[in-house]
Chains A and B, each alone.
Chain A
Amino acid sequence: MGIPISYSFRNLWTRRLTTVLTASGMGLVVFVFAATLMLAEGLQQTLVQTGSPDNVVVLRKSSNSEVQSGVERTQAALVETQPEVAIGADGQPLLAKELVVLINLQKRGTHKPANVVIRGVATPASFTLRPAVRLIEGRLPHPGLAEVIAGKSIARRFKGAGLGETLRFGMRDWRVVGVFDAGATGFSSEIWGDVEQMMQAFRRPVYSSVIFRLRDSSEFDEFKSRIEGDPRLTVEAKRETRYYLDQSEAMAKFLRILGMVLTIVFSIGAVIGATITMYAAVANRVTEIGTLRALGFRRRDILSAFVIESLLLGLCGGILGVIGASFMQLITISTMNWQSFSELAFSFTLTLGIFWKSLFFSLVMGLIGGTLPAFRASRMNIVEALRSGG
């Protein structure tokens, strides 16, 4: 048995102020580390939850998003007749031909413009395909009327998008007759209206995408290879989950890389801070170290006592950082979805994985910061160490 952990812990406690200051420095780094991971996670979860694995999105070939895609009416009709398309309870295919257009709306308060996705949908198929979408206020738009419903976060944040208000786009005024909630999915950041109305308003002769439910989830590959090989069609098919994951990939990757770069730069500072603190701790306890060695504790006992002290210091920082970062979950961020250039609202999401990664990261900082001082402590000459106390 070596030097007890309580020795390391109490030494940190004895110099609380230094400990808190050093740990705070490390905590800030852990905070940045955790927050960027949480951001990437939140973004990805939002976009991935938007999709369902049984749904297939059909887009024009090599268009990355619905905004860039165009599917002609004849092609959409061909897709509709494929045997893999599930049939709904009403005997109609569970398939929606949709139009996606970006418009510019002003935010409430700041009047700053931002892009918003307008989705022309087919009732009821579009709703059946997205069970996450629930009307929470008002009613659905009547076909043939200039009526829309707005996603919850759009209704809250954009001028004219609230229930009963009027939006102007596509050279017409549209009454918001309902507000829908789509949970943490990207649909919460969209405005939905009747697809035929929208195509007229925006003078679009083609749909953006065709979305349908698979009769049997395992038939996807067969469907994909046949439809993509059909010379009459210039479309590609993706599972909806895959489609949204692809959309989030670039942004999430960007966030992660940004986070890593920031964290690495900051962590150098924090590690130097920890090293200085630990060197000071060693310098203040030279006689103590000499005494412990004289009593029969070995070099490695001293080494581990100081490394443990530094690890505990790092852990304090990690806990502070994670606590700070967990408060970020209360914040909803809206940002540009770079794939569709539209507004997307999502939250910082703390997962158990990020929690452990953050704590591990703080321990690594503690370890790096503490190694040199601990090594120095363990290499001390006993006689000189005892004499220095004077």
Chain B
Amino acid sequence: MTEPPIVEIRNLSKSYRRGSQIIPVLSGISFDIARGEFLALMGPSGSGKSTLLNLIAGIDFADTGSIQIAGVEITGLSETELAHWRAGNVGFIFQFYNLIPVLTAFENVELPLLLTHLTRKERREHVEAVLSVVGLTDRMDHYPAQLSGGQQQRVAIARAIVTDPEILVADEPTGDLDRASAEEILSLMDRLVTEFGKTVIMVTHDPRAAEKAHLVRHLEKGELQ
């Protein structure tokens, strides 16, 4: 028997209201993402790929349809329930890293753990473990401004995986990086999938990034191609 998909999306629709106008972004999308997948979502601007990613990540609300992630129907959750769900199940990787500038690399990575019941010592162990995965153990007392773009993105990845979520969502993770750093980040994400069994959903414009993914889906005008 095959393993059930980790993400099951059914008839998902979302539209935005701009003044009196209603702009449809996603119209009745249905698809599955298998566990351990490295999926790239591509498409022109305004195709709805970021919206789809936000919906899967539980930071936006769908109009209709359902999103089941690891068996949990997240469209029915309240704000607070969603926040709690995100803390344990989703890791975020952003285009501009979104590290907190006043916190050190260590503290940035530790942030999601503050929402758990781990002790200070356990948190330290977790943070050190993931920083060693991204190869930044020697930089943990540095502030984001003291790190290069590639290093900042690696800290952000460490932060995304520190709670050991099953799904990682990445919005243009290489969009702000030079080629070498982008390569490094993509390899790291690939390792997370192959070595650690994570499911990565990445939105990108960059064909080279898409190449690294195991599966590429195209979105156009709110529909999957």
CB of A10 within 8 A of chain B? yes
Please tell me if the beta carbons of A296 and B101 are within 8 angstroms of each other in the complex: no
Selected A-B contacts with CB under 8 Å, 16 pairs: A3-B111, A3-B114, A4-B107, A7-B100, A287-B98, A291-B92, A291-B98, A291-B100, A294-B57, A294-B86, A295-B86, A295-B87, A295-B115, A296-B84, A296-B88, A383-B59
Enumerate chain B residues within 8 angstroms of A1, measured Cβ to Cβ. 114-115
Please tell me if the beta carbons of A383 and B88 are within 8 angstroms of each other in the complex: no
> How far does the Cβ of B87 sit from chain A's closest Cβ, in whole Å?
3
Please tell me if the beta carbons of B102 and A296 are within 8 angstroms of each other in the complex: no
Q: Report the nearest B residue to A10, measured CB to CB.
A: B102
Q: A298-B80, A383-B54 are in contact. Are A293 and B59 (CB under 8 A)?
A: yes
Q: Report the nearest A residue to B156, measured CB to CB.
A: A291
Please tell me if the beta carbons of A297 and B115 are within 8 angstroms of each other in the complex: yes
Please tell me if the beta carbons of B83 and A386 are within 8 angstroms of each other in the complex: no
Please tell me if the beta carbons of A10 and B103 are within 8 angstroms of each other in the complex: yes
Interface SS majority for chain B: helix
Interface centre among A4, A383, A390 (most CB of B within 10 A): A383
Interface string of A294-326 (1 = CB under 8 A from B): 111111000000000000000000000000000
Task: Give Cα distance in the complex from A9 to B152, angstroms.
Answer: 23
Task: Give Cα distance in the complex from A110 to B94, angstroms.
Answer: 73
CB of B60 within 8 A of chain A? yes
Task: Give Cα distance in the complex from A298 to B85, angstroms.
Answer: 11
Residues of B in contact with A (beta carbons under 8 Å apart): 54, 57, 59-60, 79-80, 83-88, 92, 94, 96, 98, 100-103, 107, 111-112, 114-115, 159
Q: Give chain A interface residues in 1-39, CB to chain B under 8 Å.
A: 1-4, 6-7, 10-11, 13-14
Task: Give Cα distance in the complex from A382 to B112, angstroms.
Answer: 16
Please tell me if the beta carbons of A295 and B102 are within 8 angstroms of each other in the complex: no
Task: Give Cα distance in the complex from A382 to B171, angstroms.
Answer: 14
Task: Give Cα distance in the complex from A297 to B113, angstroms.
Answer: 11
Q: Report the nearest A residue to B116, measured CB to CB.
A: A1
Please tell me if the beta carbons of B79 and A288 are within 8 angstroms of each other in the complex: no
Interface string of A349-390 (1 = CB under 8 A from B): 000000000000000000000000000000000110010011
Known: A295-B111, A296-B87, A296-B112. 12 other contacts (CB 8 A): A6-B103, A10-B102, A288-B101, A291-B92, A291-B98, A293-B59, A296-B84, A296-B86, A296-B115, A297-B87, A382-B59, A390-B96
